[in-house]
Structure 1
Amino acid sequence: MSQLSVRTLCRSYADRTVLDGVDLDVGAGERLGLVGENGVGKSTLLRLVSGIEAPDSGSVHLVGSVGYLGQEPDLPVAGSVTDAVDAALADFRELEAGMRAAEKRLAEGDESVLEHYGELLAEYEARDGWSADARASRALAGLGLGDVDATRSVDTLSGGQRSRLALALALARAPDVLLLDEPTNHLDDDALAFLEEALRTHRGAVLTASHDRAFLDAVCTGILDLDPSLTIGGDGVPVIGPARYTGAYSDYLHGKAAARARWEQAHATWNDEGAEARAAIRQTARQVGHTNRARRDGDKFQPHFFGQKVDAAVSRRVRDAENRLEQLQRQRVPKPPRELRLDATLDAPVPPGVLVSAREARVPGRVRVPALDIAADTRLMVTGRNGSGKTSLLAVLAGALEPESGRVLRADRLRIGWLPQTGVFPDLEATALEVFAAGRPGPPSEHQAELARLGLVPGRDLRTPVGRLSVGQQRRLALARLIASRPQLLLLDEPTNHLSLDLVEELEEAVGVSGLPVVVVTHDRWARRRWQHATAAVVAGELVT
């Protein structure tokens, strides 16, 4: 039996439809990952299932308890960590109190509460209430909060600590349906390993939205892609909507590629059959063939007889073709939507020799670079804990952050493609097209075609102020500006953040085949596992090569 069932769920905001007719079922022990392009409705679906928002139409049916963890932690505004844990386990405390009260009445000989006691005990055991406190302690320790003073006020925790506390409490509750929106944010490798194991052993249903490919591969038993896909209904009519794939992320990649190929083939076949039907309708009696047969002597009735046969044949063929064309119109296979993908190459010529050289470059309190040379063949991945100084390192190399001591030399006229994490667009009122064209000759309209060709910003967003774009849309715009500059050196700070999984794969492929020197900072375990070049680490603000 499904713990969660969703039927024909629809949700719109203003004039934009986000979800349209979504169906899904998730049973106990199933872990379903939500993926799709930025803005496709992953977070919206989780809010609708949790009951935080109401759908425009459709239904959500839940069996048992539900727990929801959004991207922003929902924690008490006051109180200690212990208070937050007690609040999270309030259901268990209430069940325990009810059982104690019933036990007392049973001990006094009141058997009228026996059935009620059995119901309380069954729910308590089903949710593993005996282990609730131990589960909370394990979650706090596993997510890196074991050393935090339990009496410490929640409002004094850092943003990352608050997010991890909210996640620990969600795991401690062990609800029948667990809803998680980007749960891997703010987690280091040890915490990620703990979370993955906790979810794999969770007895209820899990529905999670994530951009973490390694997480999706390690945890999920299925993937729901909210991007449009083609399925054929029982009546033969094509249906466009979300598609579900069995298995983890690796299986999803193969499944989606095959589904896209089937859609393209189905559209081509539909087009060809429609063209054949229209051609048949246009055919005349002359094309049937009987009219060209030689007339025999004495066969006076032949013209009339064969004329009737020709008319009947033409009529039948036209009627069959018209019926087939009507059927094809009912079973219309639309053209697959153009995929929002990186339609560009990184192929600028790279000058020989050392491109950037740093010696004893120091920004007090942020980063120190004892020695680093970047040449045309440099491919370097930089790792390190949050706050260790990785972002400052790239800013120093790019020239956006000047060291107070030491030196950083760059090759003359070197074009550096620096993709910072944040703060790319100071003027949030400028349109996406104006931002793309900034600093380039001519009016913005002259650069519209180039921006469209890159495939990163859809036409509807070109004249939207960047302040109204989502974080993911802003990230794609920043990437478009970088590519258009034809960089000779790439400095990429968490390039997979806020990009759809498809686009991340495209970007990695483009960088991989470009041959450009690159220094990349990333927490993405999927990318780190596939990296086959040099690595370095920033430890306590110092680059260690």
Structure 2
Amino acid sequence: MPTVHVVAEAVAFGYPGRPVLDRVTLRAAAGSRVAIVGENGSGKSTLLRLLAGELVPSAGQVRRHGVVDLVGQDMPVVPGRTVGDEVADALAEVTTLAAEIAAATESFDHASGSLAELATLLERSERLAAWDAERRVLEQLDRLGACTDLGRELAHMSVGERHRVRLGCRLASRADVLLLDEPTNHLDDAALEHLTREVLAWQGVVVLVTHDRRLLDDVATGILDLDPSMEGRPVFYGQPGYLSFRFAKNQALHRWRQRHRAEQKKRLELLQRLDTSYEGLSDEWRPPKGSQKHRRGTRARIHVKAADRLVEKLEAEAVEVPVPPVELAFPALPALDPTWHAAAGAELVSLRSPRVAGRLDLPGTRVALPASGRLLVTGANGTGKSTLLRALAGTLPLDRGARDVHEGVRIGVVGQEGLGVQTGVDLDDILDDAAHGATGFDVAGRVALRLLAAGALDPELVVPVAFLGLLSEADLDRPLRELSLGQRRRFDLACALVAAPHVLLLDEPTNHLSIDLVDELTQALRTTPAAVVVATHDRRMREDLADWPTLAL
């Protein structure tokens, strides 16, 4: 039996006033590749931090064996920290091991010394391939398309660039337990294929949180679902593959709902019987003379007590269905403003020969988006996908070329970094408030009011964020900075929809989202009357949108 490297037993954890995890159990041995899924805010990232030892559970326990590495979604920017510092951290264990081997060899007594300690050190060195570690780190960075300039400061890099540096360094360190939080974010096809190969070949344990349905199919040996279940605790699905998981989960949810409906029907029948018994008892206290009122009253009370006991028994055995995961209620976005006197094929926005120095250059290319048009933008990292979307939005000036936009067109943008709403109205101060304690309701309300005051939005078209099914009212009432990355990503999408845009520009829209929402969002984008541009590395989403016109950069 392989050595168990990480175990979580009935773990619970919560933040002040907000429980997150309850009775979570996970066991993973060498060779296991466990995927953790669930709605945004269900505690996936928190569970990884508990497994890594960064957090302490309020109940239950976590046991680890060996070196643990966590690659989180967030990578705080430390002023002055460089790529070289990340590489040095990745090589720290190898560096320490080399020093221990050198010291043990130098002090070894050939006459009386034991070889056991030295053999153990050499075994560790073999496992880590210590002699090849430095080259391995640089190779990992190169395979992921990460920066290999050791002197470059992380603060001067994008979120995606920092993520690839961190991921490459940790893949090279060969930890016993590798914990990955949304590792496919910011990776292009070549990097995704490399990551898949590395995870499949990992000799220790891999536990990963991911929305990438293809990665689940390719690597997961089991899936732990943190969403609510009929039993009230997370469910582990041991059969590999996303489709197997989806089928099993849908079947379980169907049985759950069937049983709940049956219990509710039975409970209603008993309550009706109880009401009838009470009515009979009430009438019996006023019987006509000579009607054996005590005997008949006693019988009525017996019926009432029997009905009471049945109701109590049913309530004790009843299935209380928790509030189901929030479902997406995508709004009916307009294709055209009814006041426009334009044909249905009118172009809403277009670019001609766009060029942004060092980032995008498409001479002789015209990108045009008609009403209800579709465009899928693909390409490796660094080819200019995000730049193209920003140029279409009008938030990035062109060094060459021209942008045309139909008067009155509203454009909603979801970028890779932070809130993105393009309307021709300055929202910088509102976005600053979002980073300093404002709630989702506060920010969304101020965005809508600013648009209305500028005449950029018809009052009848305002989309209430609470009705979208992207976030619960409780989450919208919390400071945005307290939300998880996935929840903030949901809020970015909600704010892009507030103005009922005619055009949606989505840059890596599946990043940080739950797999259930990714499925729902893909279907919504296929059917909305609004024009849509999607730039994505998500392989399954590209397959789902394969019939769209495609621009490969």
Question: For the residues of structure 2 that align with 1:432 and 1:201, how far apart are their CA atoms?
Answer: 45
1:328 and 2:314 aligned? yes
- Report the secondary structure of 1:326's partner residue: helix
The offset of 1:510, in angstroms, is 0.6
Superposed, which structure 2 residues align to 1:282-301 within 5 Å? 282-284=275-277
The offset of 1:509, in angstroms, is 0.6
Aligned-residue identity in percent: 35
Superposed, which structure 2 residues align to 1:38-187 within 5 Å? 38-72=40-74, 77=81, 83-84=88-89, 86-90=91-95, 92-93=97-98, 96-97=101-102, 100=105, 104-105=108-109, 108-110=110-112, 113=114, 116=117, 124=124, 128-129=126-127, 131-134=129-132, 137-138=135-136, 140-144=138-142, 152-153=150-151, 155=153, 158=157, 163-187=163-187
Report what 2:206 is aligned to: 206
Report what 1:261 is aligned to: 254
The offset of 1:60, in angstroms, is 0.7
- Report the secondary structure of 2:518's partner residue: helix
Question: For the residues of structure 2 that align with 1:149 and 1:423, how far apart are their CA atoms?
Answer: 26
Report what 2:263 is aligned to: 270
Q: Deviations along 1:378-398, whole A, 9 cap, x unmatched?
A: 322112333432223222223
Greater Cα offset, 7-16 or 131-140: 131-140
Which amino acid is 2:315 matched to?
Q
| Structure 1, unaligned runs of 5 or more | 232-239, 288-302, 539-545
The one of 413, 423, 440 equivalent to 2:408 is 413
Greater Cα offset, 1-10 or 141-150: 141-150
The one of 340, 355, 360 equivalent to 2:326 is 340
Superposed, which structure 2 residues align to 1:6-21 within 5 Å? 6-21=8-23
- Report the secondary structure of 1:523's partner residue: coil
Report what 1:434 is aligned to: 445
Which amino acid is 2:550 matched to?
T
Residues 69, 170 of structure 2: 8 Å contact kept = yes
Residues 448, 498 of structure 2: 8 Å contact kept = no
The one of 350, 353, 357 equivalent to 2:345 is 353
The offset of 1:132, in angstroms, is 4.2
Superposed, which structure 2 residues align to 1:226-237 within 5 Å? 226-231=226-231
Residues 146, 161 of structure 2: 8 Å contact kept = no
Report what 1:292 is aligned to: none
Residues 132, 172 of structure 1: 8 Å contact kept = no
Change (3 A) 1:82 1:486: closer
The offset of 1:506, in angstroms, is 1.3
Report what 2:284 is aligned to: none
Question: For the residues of structure 2 that align with 1:285 and 1:148, how far apart are their CA atoms?
Answer: 75
The offset of 1:315, in angstroms, is 7.0
Change (3 A) 1:362 1:61: closer
Question: For the residues of structure 2 that align with 1:69 and 1:364, how far apart are their CA atoms?
Answer: 33
1:22 and 2:24 aligned? yes
Residues 280, 317 of structure 1: 8 Å contact kept = no
Residues 285, 310 of structure 1: 8 Å contact kept = no
Per the normalisation by structure 1, the TM-score is 0.79
Which amino acid is 2:142 matched to?
G
Question: How well do the aligned residues superpose, as a CA RMSD in angstroms?
Answer: 4.1
The one of 527, 532, 540 equivalent to 1:513 is 527
Residues 98, 120 of structure 1: 8 Å contact kept = no
Change (3 A) 1:367 1:80: closer
Report what 1:384 is aligned to: 379
1:33 and 2:35 aligned? yes
Residues 37, 226 of structure 2: 8 Å contact kept = yes
Question: For the residues of structure 2 that align with 1:423 and 1:182, how far apart are their CA atoms?
Answer: 19
Residues 6, 29 of structure 2: 8 Å contact kept = yes
- Report the secondary structure of 1:344's partner residue: coil
Residues 432, 463 of structure 1: 8 Å contact kept = no
